[in-house]
């Protein structure tokens, strides 16, 4: 009888120990993922701030060379990066589920396909082409700033719900920032046109389309009224798509 009680007591002790052990897939401590997210947040904020500040020398160089349109494009991009950095830092907490690692990867591809594209050498430097490329950058920067003004603290890079915004450009288009990013991608690709540039443009557009779908699923889960908003708005281009 004593042996039975001892065995039962040992089993209860082991069960309690298992309950107290930290949960996590593959032995990962529950605090690991939040730490990784925090590190990623700091790295992204630093990247945005660096990108904004790096526009300064380019603006001065463009002004000295008399390339005023190019200077305007750099000013617009700098302001856009600064706004994104500030809003990213003060953004609202997530409502509902966090983005999966697959969704994070898709967002990364959509956001950063432009980086290797910028590194490609110029292949088509006709004056008209450069003007179109610069104007596309200006339109993209100004449009994104307008959309960020509407988003405010609901700004997010990953497809995670924070708040349902339906004002400003979001009255008509569900993803105006992605649309404008695609415009900027096209403008960046044009003077570098070639197989690699076209492939990176296609990759960026594909990533933004997937990211839009992921974001819509997250918003539908978090906000029941999102479905009605979908029916009265367009995904990327008003009256087209």
pLDDT in tens, 47-80: 888 888 888 898 999 999 998 999 999 899 999 9
Residue 85 maps to a domain: yes
Q: Quick one: pLDDT at residue 43?
A: 80
Q: Quick one: pLDDT at residue 36?
A: 67
The total number of structural domains in the chain stands at 1
Residue 9 maps to a domain: no
Residue 69 maps to a domain: yes
**The CATH number of the domain where 65 resides is what?**
1.20.120.1630
Low-confidence ranges of the chain (pLDDT < 70): 1-34, 36
Q: State both tokens at 67.
A: 């390339």
Residue 241 maps to a domain: no
> Is residue 191 within 8 Å of 124, Cβ to Cβ?
yes
Residue 128 maps to a domain: yes
The parent domain of residue 49 ranges over 33-231
> Is residue 179 within 8 Å of 125, Cβ to Cβ?
no
Q: Quick one: pLDDT at residue 27?
A: 44
Ramachandran class of 177: left when φ > 0, alpha when ψ lies in -120 to 50, beta otherwise = alpha
Residue 16 maps to a domain: no
Q: Quick one: pLDDT at residue 6?
A: 45
Q: Quick one: pLDDT at residue 184?
A: 95
Residue 11 maps to a domain: no
The owner of tokens 């660096």 is: 50
The owner of tokens 């999966």 is: 100
The model's pTM: 0.81
Residue 18 maps to a domain: no
Q: Quick one: pLDDT at residue 32?
A: 57
């Amino acid at each position: 009888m004593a042996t039975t009680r001892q065995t039962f007591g040992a089993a209860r002790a082991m069960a309690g120990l298992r309950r107290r052990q930290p949960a996590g897939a593959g032995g990962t401590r529950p605090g690991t993922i939040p730490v990784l997210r925090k590190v990623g947040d700091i790295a992204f904020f630093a990247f945005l701030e660096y990108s904004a500040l790096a526009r300064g020398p380019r603006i001065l160089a463009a002004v000295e060379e008399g390339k005023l349109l190019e200077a305007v494009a750099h000013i617009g991009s700098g302001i856009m990066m600064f706004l994104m950095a500030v809003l990213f830092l003060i953004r609202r907490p997530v409502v509902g589920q966090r983005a999966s690692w697959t969704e994070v990867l898709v967002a990364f591809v959509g956001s950063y396909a432009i980086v290797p594209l910028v590194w490609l050498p110029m292949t088509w430097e006709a004056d008209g082409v450069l003007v179109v490329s610069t104007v596309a950058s200006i339109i993209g920067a100004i449009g994104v700033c307008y959309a960020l003004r509407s988003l405010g603290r609901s700004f997010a890079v990953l497809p995670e719900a924070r708040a349902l915004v339906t004002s400003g450009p979001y009255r008509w288009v569900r993803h105006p920032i992605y649309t404008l990013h695609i415009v900027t991608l096209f403008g960046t690709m044009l003077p570098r046109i070639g197989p690699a540039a076209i492939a990176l443009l296609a990759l960026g557009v594909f990533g933004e389309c997937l990211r839009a779908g992921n974001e819509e699923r997250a918003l539908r889960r978090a906000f029941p009224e999102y479905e009605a908003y979908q029916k009265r708005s367009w995904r990327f281009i008003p009256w087209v798509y």
